[in-house]
Amino acid sequence: MSVTAAPGFVAAGVAAGIKPSGNPDLSLVATADGLPVAAAGVFTRNKMTAAPVITTRAHLEATGGHAVAVVLNSGNANAATGQQGLDDAEAMCASVATELGIDASQVLVCSTGLIGIPMPIDVITAGIPSVVAARSSDGGQSAATAIMTTDTVAKQVVVDGGGFVVGGMAKGAAMLSPNMATMLAVLTTDAAATPEQLKAALVFGVADSFNALDVDGCTSTNDTVLLLASGLAGPVEESALHAAVAEACASLAAQMCADAEGATKVVRMSVIGATSDAEALIGARYVSRSNLVKCSWYGCDPYWGRIASDLGSCGIDFDPSKFSVSYGGVTVCRGAVDADHDAAAVAAHMAGRNLEIVADLGLGSGAATILTNDLSHAYIDENMGTS
Amino acid sequence: MSVTAAPGFVAAGVAAGIKPSGNPDLSLVATADGLPVAAAGVFTRNKMTAAPVITTRAHLEATGGHAVAVVLNSGNANAATGQQGLDDAEAMCASVATELGIDASQVLVCSTGLIGIPMPIDVITAGIPSVVAARSSDGGQSAATAIMTTDTVAKQVVVDGGGFVVGGMAKGAAMLSPNMATMLAVLTTDAAATPEQLKAALVFGVADSFNALDVDGCTSTNDTVLLLASGLAGPVEESALHAAVAEACASLAAQMCADAEGATKVVRMSVIGATSDAEALIGARYVSRSNLVKCSWYGCDPYWGRIASDLGSCGIDFDPSKFSVSYGGVTVCRGAVDADHDAAAVAAHMAGRNLEIVADLGLGSGAATILTNDLSHAYIDENMGTS
């Protein structure tokens, strides 16, 4: 199910031999009938754009927003690979196109894994016939599994839009940050929509989901969210499509945050009472990136002084006398001074896996929430080497 | 020596009982004759300004830039403490003033330690007579020791300005970031200078030293650098004073970076070839704050792809085709593609404690260097709780 939940799509995942571990590493999502459908994507804003992002953008432009298939590999990001990387991304598309009897521009491509390592393109193209042959309407699970890197679980979602379905899969562990860092997601729907309508639904959907996710402040070279629409359910209300896509994105983002590298806490860090939503977002993101704050979460420590210090230094309007913080709904500081509170209730909240922290600037009605994690020993272990 | 190296100054450090450990926690620096001298300070830009910063600024303003003494405590930052904190900072100054027979406005105050905890002001004021009584011309070492928090060594410096001396002490471990995060430094000199000249020398001196230090991106509520001038050596060239103060600041900043919480690497991260110095600084700071990059340094891994990814996403001008990176002078990537290089030489460099990394954007002549560290298990251990 998941990326194959919407009628009209097939998928598969296989072990092509890209990963030394022998784990699945090559996925395909395609239309069941091999004909092109409307498609749209949103991509990383990193200027160090990976080759598959460049190739996928170019193909969507060449076809006016249509595609038959998406090929995805894990184990190598095909980023910082120069002209050879672009040639390799095109070769992946061409290989799929040959198998399906379509044009290479009708194939989109995503890669995730290490940066700066040449692609084992012969291994990949040798594996493509098998992943194409394996495609089926129940291949969603295997496709979602083969895009995992340091993910510990496959991320999938199905949303019932009321007369249509949005299904999807995603991967993402470390390097999760604004503008969809090292995350890939492929969504499918049976709603009928133009490429422009799909793009609008995606832009709406990622804003409060993937783009509100900030695990470590690093923005990847490869982030891509794609949405393909088979149209088999016929036209739907724009608002219904937006809502269903947003719900799917939110679910996948929450799954990513819960599975972020080394995380022991999933934190909803809200800043309210800011002079604007934009200032609230700056503040929430700054706190979410603060290693001192992240370490205190790891230690189950409601050390609000560090949150105050970060908000005071991030450049937004800030007045200590109006500042308060709550953990799990219990206010621990008012006017930037310790407030009488139920310490046992706060300790119980901090000991849990899901933290709800609200910093109120007391200045206006601006608000923003970032979904983030703590900083743990395991995060360092996962990121101190490439091997 | 150190803060008492310049003729005309005395100092002392004692254990007043602020720290549960019983370690020294109360310091004094004063003029030997108890008369006011020219003084200046630069302070944190954090809007969550700690009480001692507010008090010291007010005293310098009230006296037109003159002071007799500086009282400093470790163990409690007197930050996020509201009106009581301001009262406590004034009480510390008043207590010193009583002992020295001067006005409270002639005393400056610095605090470092935990945020958001009321000051044990009775313990501190009870200790002040003993630290005042202990002051001597060879008290620099004890004063430098009593301002330590998670520092593992006292930081001191003496610079021979050629006819005059600049001496100083500092503390700072975690939370070291731009604009002098959780660092305190007191410098003294026997050069004769006006408060304005001292301020100018400080602003010059901190720019490429304390303000180029970025350990974890967190900016403290308490950062203060003070400079007092006894004038006993008579007037000096402005350029000589600037150079000596800058040298003292650079030495203290390097000592801080070398002793940063949990650090196993001291890294000079340079960005050159930027379209401006300002863009280079944004880039160097962004890379220095990247947890993925910091983890790879901890793992001795020359993973230039992460540096490229950070520079591509930090908002500055970036063109992969012109981008190169070197570690210890060995270029490992050119045009954002792996370059043939001596891998053994790079591995040897990465295994050392001091890393020199240069990222060349290839676009212009803008350059900046940030002094920073790796991210280690020990950093988390030191910051996961307040106890």
Cα B105 to Cα B68, B186, B228, B318, distances in angstroms: 9, 18, 15, 51
CB-based contact B306 A49, cutoff 8 Å: no
Other CB atoms closer than 10 Å to residue A178's CB: what's the count? 21
Pairing of strands A224-235, A37-43: antiparallel
Question: Which whole number is the average pLDDT over B291-313?
Answer: 88
CB-based contact A308 B80, cutoff 8 Å: yes
A285 and B CB contact within 8 Å: no
Shortest alpha-carbon distance between residue B380 and chain A (Å): 6
Cα A303 to Cα A274, A291, B94, distances in angstroms: 21, 13, 31
Question: Which whole number is the average pLDDT over A221-235?
Answer: 93
A304 and B CB contact within 8 Å: yes
**Angle of the A82-100 helix axis to the A51-63 helix axis, nearest 10:** 50
Per DSSP, which regions of chain A are E strands? 9-14, 26-31, 37-43, 66-67, 69-74, 107-112, 155-160, 165-172, 183-192, 224-235, 266-274, 324-327, 330-334, 337-338, 354-360, 366-373
Chosen for mutation from A47, A214, A282, A301 (greatest number of chain B CBs closer than 10 Å) is A47
CB B106 within 8 A of CB B30: no
* One-letter identity of residue A48: M
Higher per-residue pLDDT: A214 or A203: A203
Over residues B314-331, the pLDDT tens digits come to 889 999 999 999 999 999
Show contacts of A57-61: CB within 8 Å, 24+ apart: A58/A105, A59/A93, A59/A104, A59/A105, A59/A106, A59/A107, A59/A108, A60/A108, A60/A195
Is residue A224 annotated as part of the catalytic site, yes or no? Answer: no
Q: Would the pLDDT of A175 be above 50?
A: no
**pTM of the prediction?**
0.78
CB-based contact B313 A380, cutoff 8 Å: no
- Residue intervals in chain A for CATH 3.10.20.340: 266-383
Over residues A329-358, the pLDDT tens digits come to 999 999 988 889 999 999 999 999 999 999
Burial class of residue A261 (count of CB atoms within 10 Å of its CB; 0-12, 13-18, 19+) = buried
**Nearest CB neighbour to A80, from listed B45, B337, B384:** B337
Question: Which whole number is the average pLDDT over A293-321?
Answer: 90
- Rounded Cα distance, B188 and A57, in Å: 61
Q: Point out the catalytic residue in the list A182, A188, A369, A372.
A: A182
Question: Which whole number is the average pLDDT over A124-148?
Answer: 97
Question: Which whole number is the average pLDDT over B43-48?
Answer: 82
Other CB atoms closer than 10 Å to residue A240's CB: what's the count? 16
* Number of residues assigned to chain B: 387
B45 and A CB contact within 8 Å: yes
Q: What is the dihedral of CA A137, A140, A146, A152, to 10 degrees?
A: -160
Q: Point out the catalytic residue in the list B56, B112, B145, B182.
A: B182
- Rounded Cα distance, A172 and B360, in Å: 30
- Residue intervals in chain B for CATH 3.60.70.12: 2-258
Chain B residues closer than 8 Å to A181 by CB = 313
Indicate the fold that domain A2-258 takes in CATH.
Answer: L-amino peptidase D-ALA esterase/amidase (3.60.70)
Q: At B30, phi and psi to the nearest 5?
A: -150, 165
Burial class of residue A193 (count of CB atoms within 10 Å of its CB; 0-12, 13-18, 19+) = buried
User: Across chain A, what does the average pLDDT equal?
Assistant: 91
Q: Find, among A131, A205, A208, the residue nearest to A168 by Cα.
A: A205
CB B179 within 8 A of CB B45: yes
User: Across chain B, what does the average pLDDT equal?
Assistant: 91
Q: Would the pLDDT of B175 be above 50?
A: no
Chain A residues closer than 8 Å to B335 by CB = 82
A365 and B CB contact within 8 Å: no
Q: At B266, phi and psi to the nearest 5?
A: -110, 120
B66 token code pair: 């003159």
Burial class of residue B365 (count of CB atoms within 10 Å of its CB; 0-12, 13-18, 19+) = exposed
B334 and A CB contact within 8 Å: no
Over residues B209-224, the pLDDT tens digits come to 888 887 665 567 888 9
Cα A213 to Cα A217, A371, B280, distances in angstroms: 9, 5, 27
CB-based contact A313 B179, cutoff 8 Å: yes
Chain B residues closer than 8 Å to A376 by CB = 380
Q: Would the pLDDT of A296 be above 70?
A: yes
- Rounded Cα distance, A21 and A387, in Å: 11
Least confident of A270-284, B143-157, B165-179: B165-179
Per DSSP, which regions of chain B are E strands? 9-14, 26-31, 37-43, 66-67, 69-74, 107-112, 155-160, 165-172, 183-192, 224-235, 266-274, 324-327, 330-334, 337-338, 354-360, 366-373
Q: Which residues of B188-199 are buried (b: 16+ CB within 10 A; e: fewer)?
A: bbbbbbebebbb
Confidence of residue A48 (pLDDT cuts 50, 70, 90): confident
Q: What is the DSSP letter of B76?
A: B
CB A279 within 8 A of CB A316: yes
| H-state helical runs in A101-185 | 121-133, 140-146
Supply the pLDDT for residue B178.
35
Over residues B69-110, the pLDDT tens digits come to 999 999 999 988 889 999 999 999 999 999 999 999 999 999
- ipTM (interface pTM): 0.71
Confidence of residue B151 (pLDDT cuts 50, 70, 90): confident
Confidence of residue A215 (pLDDT cuts 50, 70, 90): low
Least confident of A123-137, B13-27, B109-123: B109-123
Over residues A59-109, the pLDDT tens digits come to 999 999 999 999 999 999 998 889 999 999 999 999 999 999 999 999 999
Q: Would the pLDDT of B180 be above 60?
A: no
A78 and B CB contact within 8 Å: no
Question: Which whole number is the average pLDDT over A48-65?
Answer: 95
The CATH superfamily assigned to B266-383 is: ArgJ beta chain, C-terminal domain (3.10.20.340)
- Rounded Cα distance, A328 and A357, in Å: 6
Question: Which whole number is the average pLDDT over A149-175?
Answer: 88
Supply the pLDDT for residue B376.
84
- Give the strand order in the sheet containing B354-360: B337-338, B330-334, B324-327, B354-360, B266-274, B366-373
**Nearest CB neighbour to A338, from listed B47, B49, B116:** B116
CB-based contact B309 A46, cutoff 8 Å: yes
